[in-house]
Structure 1
Amino acid sequence: MAKLIPYPGSIRINVAGAFIVDDEITPESGSSNTPPLDSTLSPGTTLTANISNGQSSKTHNRDIVLPHHTSDVSHIAVDIGGSLAKLVYFTRDGDNLGGRINFTMFETENIQDLISFMSKLISARRRSSSVERSSKPDSRTDQHVYIMATGGGAYKFYDRLRKELDVEIWREDEMECLIVGLDFFITEIPDEVFTYSEQNPMSFVEAKQDIYPYLLVNIGSGVSMIMVSGPRQFKRIGGSSLGGGTLWGLLSLITGAKSFDEMLLLASKGDNTNVDMLVGDIYGTDYGRIGLKSSTIASSFGKVFKQRLESDEDDTDVDGPVHEGNQRFKAEDISRSLLYAISNNIGQIAYLQAQRYNLEHIYFGGSFIRGHPQTMNTLSYAIKFWSAGDKKAYFLRHEGYLGAVGAFLKRQPTGWGRRNSFDGKG
């Protein structure tokens, strides 16, 4: 029997046989954050995915294939944050073999790129509906396209989106969308949730139904920590202003990097021990009595001031940012140090909140993570260290799309309820 998952408007998502596509294509043109529109979006064609026998030959951004979902989907979802805008939309196979949930991302400052991309999706959707209704007079395909929007940008850019896209826009609560999206990934999508360690970088966690209570740590421009105790039962219990926006802002000042991905690339090549003061720098060895290894960071950027003083004595010019002539500190080392500093801070606050509310499972979401090994390892190690192994850090392959997916799932018929995330009252 098909596994139909009902949600609160016009469709029910069939997740039977769902799987994540691993092979990605490289954008042929445009921004590095914007995958090219598939050839199926050309004028006169239908909005489709290319699926055959449960596999796909054209993919990007780890699409989720729904091989048995054939119902019409007449909406697009977008989560517009302070730094990034995340877009989720559905494409179906022309032979009714199923479809897929597509994911893509834009920098919020390039909002026009997002609007242009959405406009092409809407035009393709309308053409597809028109063609289907012409060939099948009894078709129930909805010719209208709806935008489900969440995040601060859903309010900031509301009038502009309505004017330029000429569609109806529903604004959904940001926190609720995060929870709806996370619940969906935890309970329905295989090989989505995993734990991370250097020894076992990606250990997948089996999808399960008994998920409450848990803590969601959503790391975007800032950080929100949300305790989820049951369906539609959540509370923001804390957060931090030191998040992805902090890393992005400081590294753009210090290193001259132009994008978040460039900053993460720098961090992956860096050696933080050139700028951070370690326990070993102070003790010459481990501080075993309190469980600190010699490699533990005692002070982020702790070596910088001393080395700059030494440079001054040598009459070395160290004025100005790194990217304007100061060659003593490498951009790669600074990037890694700051990444560790922010990640360690978030990890410790997350542990303290989980300890305070007796929460064992901690899920990290948000576009700050980006599947970056150093980030995940730092967060995971912090939770394991401070909890003495009693609590676990979990990550997701679609960590940046929780809000967008939640908004996508909320466009449903009146009366339907999410099997696990909703209480059935619609």
Structure 2
Amino acid sequence: MRTCELDGQAGTLHFIHFSSTEIFSFLRLAESMGISTSSTTICATGGGAQLLEDNLGELKHKIGTKVHKYDELDSLLCGIHYIESCKPLRECFYFEMDAEHKTYTKTPFDFSDAYPYLAVNIGSGVSMLAVYSPTEYRRITGTRCESFEEAIELAEKGDSGLVDKLVRDIYGGDYPKFNLRADTVASSFGNMCCKWRRELAKREDLARATLTTVTNNIASIARLCAVNEKMQRIVFVGNFLRYNALSMHMLTHAMDFWSRGSLKALFLEHEGYFGAVGCIVEHLRSSKKTQ
């Protein structure tokens, strides 16, 4: 990511993505690259930070460096605010849908006057954060979910209409009286009550239906939180959305449905990396204060 300035130095941020379970591979890589000659500190946040701390002795032995842990949600929001300030980057966007919800067009969104907004962080869990300023936020609520990386690969090939009972299965098409489209979910996994429909459904269809249920629930809860907090901007972030256009499209659809078109699902270009950036920024700021 270019056009960034940290600690008075302008340059490019580089990201390497690997699972936290590969921490020992990271240690070998850091050792082979002689990382201690250019840095004496590793900043860590999120679940992976605990793994780093658990292996702190080996870190010091192998690469001669210290670990500084930072709060996950503090780092997330710090990273969002920092990257958004790196002009002329256009970080925020949403998807415009066509009338049939078949085509999604990526559209920039001006996030320069963001506050207040709701941040929905989707990772191994889900946190709803009401953000009032760069330094003021509170966690409203949250839900739990598991990793969906493998399931999403299946979901991209599946048809949730073979698993979920849709409005068209009940009324034969649209239900105009209540503005319900034929493809609206009436009952998640509702078709699985029927034996012959169960036999038609493949793993891909079940994965797609699961993802539809999850994104519908997340969007519904996010919309209720935003209404309760009187917020008009809802930003979805987190590792769950990294390289995951399908879930972004489904959240776009769900938010449009639950809010009746009054709220947009907003996303950010560098999904999954804000916590990493934020804890570095926090470390540099705290280091300056102690100097």
- TM exceeding 0.5: yes
Superposed displacement of residue 124, structure 1: 4.4
CA deviations 1:246-287 (Å, max 9, x no partner) are: x53xxxxxxxxxxx2x43222112111111110110111222
The aligned counterpart of 1:411 is 283
Contact 1:70 1:99 in 2 (8 A): no
Q: Whole-Å Cα distance in 2 between the matches of residues 407 and 282 of structure 1?
A: 51
Q: Whole-Å Cα distance in 1 between the matches of residues 58 and 92 of structure 2?
A: 38
1:387 aligns with 2:259: yes
What letter is aligned with 1:238? T
Please give the TM-score of this superposition, normalised by the length of structure 2.
Answer: 0.86
1:288 aligns with 2:176: yes
The total of aligned residue pairs comes to 281
The aligned counterpart of 2:101 is none
Of residues 93, 103, 112, the one that matches 2:24 is 112
1:66 aligns with 2:6: no
Superposed displacement of residue 222, structure 1: 0.8
Contact 2:123 2:239 in 1 (8 A): yes
1:302 aligns with 2:206: no
Superposed displacement of residue 239, structure 1: 0.7
Q: Whole-Å Cα distance in 2 between the matches of residues 366 and 70 of structure 1?
A: 26
What letter is aligned with 2:208? R
Q: Whole-Å Cα distance in 2 between the matches of residues 162 and 363 of structure 1?
A: 38
Superposed displacement of residue 146, structure 1: 0.7
Q: Whole-Å Cα distance in 2 between the matches of residues 149 and 408 of structure 1?
A: 8
Of residues 370, 374, 387, the one that matches 2:246 is 374
The aligned counterpart of 1:139 is none
Q: Which has the higher helix share?
A: 2
Change (3 A) 1:108 1:71: same
Of residues 114, 124, 134, the one that matches 1:221 is 124
> What is the aligned-residue RMSD (CA, Å)?
2.7
Contact 2:236 2:267 in 1 (8 A): yes
What letter is aligned with 2:22? N
Superposed displacement of residue 168, structure 1: 1.2
Superposed displacement of residue 187, structure 1: 3.1
Contact 2:23 2:51 in 1 (8 A): no
Residue correspondence of structure 1 range 153-232 to structure 2 within 5 A: 153-164=48-59, 165-189=63-87, 190-199=89-98, 200-206=104-110, 208=112, 210-232=113-135
Superposed displacement of residue 413, structure 1: 4.7
* Structure 1 stretches lacking a partner, 5+ long: 1-63, 73-97, 130-143, 249-259, 312-317, 319-326, 418-425
What letter is aligned with 1:373? A
1:263 aligns with 2:151: yes
What letter is aligned with 1:232? T
Larger Rg: 1
Residue correspondence of structure 1 range 11-160 to structure 2 within 5 A: 64-66=1-3, 99-121=11-33, 123-124=34-35, 126=37, 129=38, 144-160=39-55
Q: Whole-Å Cα distance in 2 between the matches of residues 175 and 217 of structure 1?
A: 11
SS at the partner of 2:231? coil
What letter is aligned with 1:154? A
Contact 1:278 1:298 in 2 (8 A): yes
What letter is aligned with 1:367? N
Q: Whole-Å Cα distance in 2 between the matches of residues 70 and 218 of structure 1?
A: 27
Superposed displacement of residue 120, structure 1: 4.1
Q: Whole-Å Cα distance in 2 between the matches of residues 363 and 118 of structure 1?
A: 34
SS at the partner of 2:15? strand
* Structure 2 stretches lacking a partner, 5+ long: 99-103
SS at the partner of 1:285? coil
SS at the partner of 2:97? coil
Q: Whole-Å Cα distance in 2 between the matches of residues 231 and 286 of structure 1?
A: 45
Contact 2:41 2:65 in 1 (8 A): yes
Superposed displacement of residue 389, structure 1: 2.8
Say which is worse superposed, 163-172 or 173-182, in terms of deviation: 163-172
SS at the partner of 1:158? helix
Of residues 319, 344, 356, the one that matches 2:228 is 356
